[in-house]
Every structure is written in C-alpha cells, then in structure tokens.
Structure 1
C-alpha cells in the first residue's frame, strides 16, 4: 500500500513551495486533495511526479508546479465561482472547489466527464460539477464566472468563452508558442481583457482553440 499522504506532502514541499507558491489556501488544497484518486487506476504510482502526466485521450494532468503557479496568480477568493476547462478526471476541479464557492468543469469526452463527476462525489466534494460539452464553448448557462482556468494549451481563446468572464474577473491559460508555452493571466475591465505574462510552462493543445488558418492570396 503506497503512502500517498507522505507523497502529497513531498509534492508540496519539493515542487510547489520551491516555485514561490506559499499562499495558505493553495497549499492546504493541494495537501488535502488526493491526486492519486483523479488519475486512471493504473497510473496511481505516477500521480505525484513533477511533470505533466498523460491520462489518455491527448489530455494531461498538469504538473503540480504549473497548476500551483496558475492558482497563485489567480488569487482565488472563497466567494468566487470558477469555470475549469478540460479538468480531465477532475483533480484541478477538486483543488479549486477547496478554495472557491463553486466550480463548473467542462470536459469534451462524455464518459470522462461522468467518471470525473463520480470521483468528485466519492471524495465528498459537493460544490463542484463536471459537465460534458465542447471545451471552447465553456458553460454559459452557469456563468458569468469570477475566474476561468484552462488545463491545457491554446493558440487563441474564442470571444464566446471570454464573454463568460465577469467584469473584474481573471482568466489564466497556457498559450502554445513554438516549442515553449507561456502562461498568461487576463484581467477583464470594461469588457476588454488585458493580458500579462506570468511564467513559462508547456502542455498539449486542447481541442477547439487553434488559430484559424489564414489563406494568402
């Protein structure tokens, strides 16, 4: 029987804190949520490695450092409602639910969405729901949101998704640029989003966020 509690503490002490993430709500959430419960059962031994974990279907569980640093720049408040795009089997949704009022996760694979929802229920997390739908469409019915976070890389973000962010809200995503990725945080003011660079991180591209090909005449 693996001692996952010890591994969780090690993950926080060796991957999260050294990345200058020290806010108590983030540390507390990452120490509390059993990461091994949110990966395919055959991969539980690898749940705490310090790199993106391939969970199948072209999707990864972001490395702990990347998620923690994204949460750090977002500075989530306990009264906020969050949209979590592409949470896989729901780990990020569970961590966010620890920190926020309510979280809606959107998964484009129906069986994965159902599995994620059942894991959340098994873990007793009742302030989060994972629904099935196109990632780029978000979940307008439950919006607008204080925070939107994407668990993979994008080239562009559609206006229809950005419209689901409240004025005064924040959005964070990894943008694919060449071989590297850059994490940017956007602040919405007066219906416009002002982006700034946060840090570098990489992840596979999410479906539905590619730039439209431009045809040169």
Structure 2
C-alpha cells in the first residue's frame, strides 16, 4: 500500500489531539511517580520496621507484575468494589504507581551512594532530620538521578499505547481508530511513530544536557 501524503495531512489533527492526551497523562503520571518514588525511598530509610516492610512490599508488587495487568485491575476490578475512576485518572494512577516503584529503587540507590562522611558531618554540626535531608542528602542524591529520571520519563511515554486498553483516547488509540475506519494503516501508524520520535528525541537530548551540566558543575 502506498503512502498518501494528502491523507496523512488530513488525519494529522486527530493524531495531534491524541498526542495531547498522551502528554497530559505522561506529565501527570510522571509527577505522581516521582512523588511516590521519593516517599517510598524515604520509608525504606525509616526506623519504623512496619513502614520499611510496607515500602518493600509496594516496590516488590509493582515491579514484579505487568503494567497491563495493573491497568486492567484498576479500570475493571476496582469498580466491582465500588471505586470507579475516569479512564484518564486511571491511566495517570496506573503509570504513577508502576513507575513510582522503579523510581523508589533509583532514589534509594542514590541516597545510599551519598558518602557516609556527609551524614556524620551533618550530625556533628547538629543538623535536625529535616535539615539533614533537605540541605545535605537530597541535593547530593538528586544529581545522579537526572539521567535516571529522564530514562523513566521516556520509558513511560513509550508505554502509553497500553492505555488504549482502558479506552483512553491517546495517540495509539487515535491511530488505531483511524486505521479501523479507513482500512489504511501506513499513514496513521507511520505518523504515530514519527510523533513518538519527535517527543522522545528532544527529551533525551535535554536530559543528556542536564546530566553533563550537573557533572561539570
């Protein structure tokens, strides 16, 4: 089948609308994942054993089960217990919970890599727990996290086609609907791939630049 430029141009607005939904879900989901990951990483450092166990259980569950299964559970199983969320909210929650588990482990590794001398010096200077984390530990832990967070952001963006299974009208769903109605597959799926590339490549360059800047700084 040939590639029809006129047809591709005519379907571009629909695909861009789907891309807009994709970006909204990714931005909200990523913010949630960072917040959840940071909280779980801090709980792993907590002196209360029950909270450490809770954090470990959360990380193990979400890392060891597929994202697709989690999305199905949130969208189809939770309503059976009386909790029903809109499709977009379910997608944001699903991405946030799933990637939050991975980001938690990345945060934990970055925190553990802070030299022991930094902890000891802060305690010797009588820093309180809040000041210790805010002024000493977290600023040092965040620098090596920049490329890691960039990789997870791009990974989340590339996994958004899974959201089509819970009826979110994101980019893949828009391309799929166009192909189903017109029986033309080259144009919608090629444009979809190009749009994914157009977002992923600049994002990757930006995080690479930030990583180099932090390294030299």
| TM category, shorter | under 0.3
Higher helix residue share: 2
Higher relative CO (CA 8 A, sep ≥ 6), structure 1 or 2?
Answer: 2
Higher CA-based Rg: 2
Higher strand residue share: 1
Query: Normalising by structure 1, what TM-score?
Result: 0.22
